[in-house]
Amino acid sequence: MENLTYPVIYFELDDNTVLGGIVGTRYQVVDSDIRAVKGSIKDWLQKQYKKYDWYLSSNIEQYKMKVFEVKIRPTYRNADRSFPSSFVLKVPVVAIFGQTNEDYYECHLPLLGERFVYYDAKLLPSLVQNFATNLLTQQTPESLFRQLTNAEAKLDEISFRVNLNRDYGFKNNWNFNRRFQALESMAEQYPYPKSVRRNLAIFPEVAWELEDMVETAVDKIIGLKANLLVVGDTGVGKSSLLRQAIKKITAPANKYSQTFWQLMTQRITANARYLGEWQENVERLIEELQSAEGILWVVDVIQLLQTGGEGAEDSIAAFILPYMQQGKLQLIAEVSPTQLDIMRRLLPGFVENFQIMNIQEMPEAKIYSILEKFGDYTAQNMKISLPRPTLETCYRLLNRYYPYEKFPGKAIKFLSQMISQARNKQPTGEVEINREDILAHFISQTGMPELFLRDDILLDNQDLGDFFSKRIVGQTEAIETLCNVVKIFKAGLNNPQKPISTMIFTGPTGVGKTAATKALADYFFGKGQKKSPLVRIDMSEFQHPAQLARFIGAGGEVGKLIQDIRERPFSVLLLDEIEKADASVFDVLLTVLDEGRLVDAYGRSTNFCNTIIIMTSNLGASNRSSIGFGGNNSPNYESAIAQFFRPEFVNRIDHIVPFGALSQEHIAAITLKELSELQDREGFEKRGLKLTFSNAIVAKLTEVGFDIRYGARPLQRAIEQQVTAPLAKWLLANPQVMGKKLSVDLQNDELKVVIL
């Protein structure tokens, strides 16, 4: 017999309550003191050893504990975007570490659920900082608050006697001295212990309206011992179905012996240091699964075909395929239809070894039934009511504006966010989430004005025209086109399976193409988002075919286009100087413009259906005969576009919007607009200063800032040089001037400031 020592981390919650658990595991116990906690843990270990001949491995010879201070910038994330804070937070991170009996070191970060190995003791502080920073930056502010408010961690240990030389006499003649060492290092047993489940979610793990499919899944997994692949779009309930099936199989009343282990593919190769090591890891994993009568739940099954080698033929999926065919390994997983098609193309024989269950989006009546059951649960268990009008508003908004996910998943996710916010604002007592709360939260997520979300608010054509006329000078045709885009969207007549609108803004430089794009972005999505609703990509950065991968992504890298739209799906996408991109980029954009989506190598679909796509171009502007004061040269521009792009690309554009050259009168109007915006800058607002500008300075700036070739571009430089810089010098020389009106004039080519 040999004594194994396990470290126990514990927290004294109050005088009579101690929470403790074995480091590196999910097993936790709450009792009156640390002695009782250690006794409960030891009893559990003895029961596992007696019943299953199983015990935890113990590699570290002497454990030590240290608390590191990690600096991070908290970030709030929702389904679509991230909102980093403006301050740095210091978070204490508990590390338990020591040297193993195999000449390497091991470290656990128990409060973060992380473990890593290292080979130089001096590297521990930097490794802890690195791992902890990566994990903490992914947590919500609520999770970080729990980290900061944890009780002081303390370290203890327990000893456990086992017979390491005991033979178990299994059929394959393998000695199971350390049965689940590889399995526990790469996968998590599911269902999780109750203490862990309470921390993971406050909502029930049920599959409402999928009871028949749950029974079918149980029959396939247990009766047929089949590998099961559940196929459906995001949100239809694939994960809920599998969880409910596992819950039914592992229920004590059913007396099934199968165990389930949840696996992320990257954990197989994470610790592989030399050639062939991940293959050894997989072999040990399969052997231990057989011992545990285990079924592997692969969370990201498509990654099995894209990890391990250079192609699918030498991937992890290809390696485990013979074991699946021989019945030595049983898998369950879930994929989208697109991912299934990709898997069939990459490795057809792999998919053939699965029984496939397809889940379609439910009809509206069943979706409402699920939402009402969800509302009943929150009312009974959380004292949060979700009236029928609230559910109807939620369904209507998500049905129209979230086409890239399916019900009921997207509705449950949205309502869960609302419930979390409600409980943060009012931790106790009864709360009702009403229709106005739904609208406010939706606006904060999308930036869309209430005008688009409520049918009882009518569109005022005069206000609409005034909005764009104040932002865009001298481009009547462009303003009319933008107003029509707004009207079509307000009426709900845009195609929901395509981007809201696709346009090419064409014309000489400096005539307002970018300003018009910014105005449209602010009107559509500028009401609630903390990030800018304008996604701008300079297409001159993608002039060569080799740069296509950086644009859309390749391998494990996410391209700039996909990354930006995933972060801000409700936005205006500006592809600046589109004609400078390589022709391969235009081929990629065909699918985006026509179907509103782009699928990457992993089968993940990026949706553009809530995006307005605007491409700017100077094609045709080099024809000097077509440029003049106030000229409208759209036929020449359209001809140049038709000659440059292939017909199938041009046919996918909703509007080709010509921007004419600006006249000197237009430049004067833009000058007044720029000067009025100048006083909104921080230096003037902080001092409470108001500015008025004389006709002389406006005339001077119009003269200096006008150039027929460059439009209004020189005007901004002229304002910075002629007005902003002299005003800055005057403010620094007169710090006592506060809350005054300043008259700004130009005399003898010098700026004069008079306090009124």
Element (H, E) at 371: helix 364-382
Same domain, 288 and 395: no
Q: Are 122 and 241 in the same domain?
A: no
User: 437: pLDDT confidence band, cut at 50, 70 and 90?
Assistant: very high
Query: Which of the pair, 160 or 393, is modelled with greater confidence?
Result: 393
Structure tokens at 708: 């027929």
Task: Among 562-566, 626-630, 737-741, name the one with the lowest average pLDDT.
Answer: 626-630
CATH of the domain at 392: 1.10.8
Residues 296 and 386 in one domain: no
CA distances from 323 to 297, 319, 693 (A): 16, 8, 81
- pLDDT score at 605: 82
Residue-wise pLDDT tens digits, 666-711? 888 999 988 988 888 988 999 999 999 999 898 888 888 877 777 7
Higher pLDDT, 633 or 658: 658
For 567-576, write each residue's pLDDT tens digit: 899 999 999 9
Determine how many CB atoms are found less than 10 A away from the CB of residue 664: 13
Same domain flag for 140 and 258: no
Of 36, 46, 38, nearest in space to 22 by CA: 38
Domain boundary among 593, 627, 658: 658
629 with 705, same domain: the answer is no
Q: Cβ-count burial of 380 within 10 angstroms (0-12 exposed, 13-18 middle, 19+ buried)?
A: exposed
Taking residues 524-537, what's their average pLDDT? 88
For residues 640 and 644, give the distance between their C-alpha atoms in angstroms, rounded to a whole number: 6
Q: Same domain, yes or no, for 465 and 434?
A: no
In Å, how far are 86, 124, 311, 322, 470 from 346, measured between CA atoms? 45, 41, 8, 17, 54
Q: According to the model, what pLDDT value does residue 174 have?
A: 43
At residue 631, does pLDDT exceed 50? no
Cα 236 → chain centroid = 19
- On whether residue 175 sits in a domain, the answer given is no
Which residue would you say has higher pLDDT here, 177 or 413? 413
Find tokens 């449209």 and name the residue: 520
422 is a domain residue:
yes
Q: Is the pLDDT of residue 556 over 70?
A: no
Q: Is the pLDDT of residue 414 over 60?
A: yes
Does 553 reside within a domain?
A: yes
Domain of 723, CATH number, reads 1.10.8.60
Grouping H, G, I as helix, E, B as strand and the rest as coil, residue 382 is helix
Instruction: Dihedral sign for Cα 114, 116, 122, 127, please.
Output: negative
What is the predicted pLDDT for the residue at 24? Answer: 81
Alpha carbon distance 22, 565 (integer Å): 43
**Total structural domains within the chain:** 5
Domain with residue 473: its CATH number is 3.40.50.300
Based on the fold, state whether residues 139 and 14 are members of the same structural domain.
yes
Q: Is the pLDDT of residue 188 over 60?
A: yes
Q: Which residue has the higher pLDDT, 468 or 252?
A: 468
CA distance 335 to 358: 10
- Phi and psi at residue 331, to the nearest 5°: -120, 150
In a domain, 182, yes or no: no
Average pLDDT for 44-69: 81
Separation of alpha carbons 146 and 144, rounded Å? 5
pLDDT above 90 for 636: no
| pLDDT at res. 628 | 41
pLDDT tens, position by position, 584-614 = 999 999 999 999 999 876 677 889 999 999 9
The confidence score (pLDDT) of residue 365 equals 95
Supply the range of the domain harboring residue 317: 190-358
Residue 26 confidence class, pLDDT cut points 50, 70, 90: confident
* Contact of 739 with 688, CB cutoff 8 Å: yes
Are 354 and 489 members of one domain?
no
d(CA 252, CA 10): 30
Number of Cβ within a 10 Å radius of residue 45 = 20
Q: What is the residue-averaged pLDDT of the chain?
A: 87
Of 417, 371, 422, 370, residue with least CA distance to 393? 371
d(CA 5, CA 56): 10
What is the pLDDT confidence band of residue 175, given thresholds at 50, 70 and 90? very low
- The answer as to whether 299 is a domain residue is yes
Check whether residue 509 and residue 554 sit in a common domain.
yes
Q: What are the pLDDT digits (tens) for 485-510?
A: 999 999 999 998 899 999 999 998 88
Neighbours of 635 (CB within 10 A): 11
Last residue of some domain: 168, 200, 224? 168
Please, which residues bridge with residue 534 across strands? Answer: 572
Task: Give the pLDDT of residue 165.
Answer: 61
Domain stops at, among 658, 685, 711: 658
- Pair 550, 605 in one domain: yes
**Residue 645 confidence (pLDDT):** 95
Q: pLDDT class for 60, splitting at 50, 70, 90?
A: confident
Task: Note whether 516 and 501 are within 8 A (CB).
Answer: no
Kindly list the distances between the CA atom of residue 748 and the CA atoms of 696, 720, 745, 751, 752, in Å, as whole numbers in the listed order: 11, 18, 10, 8, 10
Residue 201 φ then ψ, to 5°: -160, 150
Q: What is the pLDDT at residue 385?
A: 95
Residues 87-126: tens digit of each pLDDT: 888 899 999 999 887 788 999 998 888 888 888 889 999 9
How much is the pLDDT for 677?
Answer: 87
Average pLDDT over residues 3-13: 89
pLDDT at residue 173 in the model: 42
Burial classification of residue 465, based on how many CB atoms lie within 10 Å of its CB (0-12 exposed, 13-18 middle, 19 or more buried):
middle
Share of the chain above pLDDT 90, in %: 52
Task: Work out the widest C-alpha separation in the chain, in whole angstroms.
Answer: 104
Would you state the pLDDT for residue 649? 95
Q: Could you tell me the end-to-end alpha-carbon distance of the chain, in angstroms, rounded to an integer?
A: 95
Q: Do the domain assignments include residue 281?
A: yes
Q: For residue 115, what are the β-bridge partners?
A: 108
Residue 178 lies in a domain: no
Examine residue 545 and state whether it is found in any structural domain, yes or no.
Answer: yes
Choose between 710 and 80: higher pLDDT.
710
Same domain? 405 vs 534: no
Same domain for 206 and 119, yes or no, is no
Only one residue has tokens 């809530």, namely 610
